[in-house]
Amino acid sequence: MSELSFQRDAFVDGVRRVFPLAVPGAPFGFVLGVLIAEEELLPSFASWASSWIILAGAAQLAALTLLADNASALVVITTVFLINSRHAMYSAALRGRLSEYSIATRVLMSYLLIDQQFAINETAPELESPTLRYRLWHYLGAGALLFVMWNVAVALGVIGGNWVPESWGLSFAVPLLFGGLLVLSLRDFPGMVAAVVGATVAVLGRTLPQGSGLLLGIVLGVAAAGFLAERRGDTDQEVVA
């Protein structure tokens, strides 16, 4: 395993590359912390701990809201599963690039498969050629920064939330972040179709139970783009496959 020993420049590159994507997550974490502090029905420490146990803000927010409403365990866990099921698709999309690492390494990398992590792995062309060792430490550097910034932001929100008025609308940073990731991920016409279909279905399906409209939007968006790409004959890998 020594060929995968710590590589400082890769780690630093990972931190630096993900930093601009981690910054907009901080206000969201902060707002989440404020909500935790305000919601006196919930134990604050356990709610804060949920930010590293779940490590996915939208699902965490949904879970805490439902718990404050006295929802059943089944409803909470099903909701979290549906909101986070997009990670299974990230997982499928990245597995080819991670398949050469040991099981133990992949167990750790899976934990840090955060939205922004997926975004840089999908959009940074620099990551396609470097060595296995470089990509591992780049991934862990990015994951470490996202992990630390997120948990610190939530903690700051829990502790000092009263100083920031709600009228600042800090939570608007969340749609701005994901809108930005969307723009960065658009590279061809089928990708735009994926976005339009995904967004339309997610908007129309907003009232579906447990946030399943999100999952439905992603699945149908990917399916529509995949179908279109096949029809257009973008099948350059056909021979290999």
- Interface with another protein (CB under 8 A), residue total 96
User: CB-wise, 25 or 161, nearer to another protein?
Assistant: 25
For the chain, state the CA radius of gyration.
19
**Binding track, positions 199-238, relative to another protein; x by CB under 8 A:** x-xxx--x------xx--xxx-xxx-xx--xx---xx-xx
Chain residues 125-164 in contact with another protein, contact rule CB under 8 A: none
When asked if residue 241 is in the footprint of another protein (CB under 8 A), the reply is yes
- Residues from 159 through 188 that contact another protein (CB under 8 A): 168-169, 172-186
Closest approach, Cβ 176 to another protein, in A, equals 4
Shortest reach from residue 26's CB to another protein, in Å: 10
Nearer of residues 8 and 127 to another protein, judged by Cβ: 127
Q: Does the protein bind another protein through residue 85 (CB under 8 A)? A: yes
Among 10, 13, 61, 118, binds another protein (CB under 8 A): 118
Q: Does 123 bind another protein (CB under 8 A)?
A: yes
Residue 120 touching another protein (CB under 8 A): no
> Rule CB under 8 A: is residue 33 a binding residue for another protein?
no
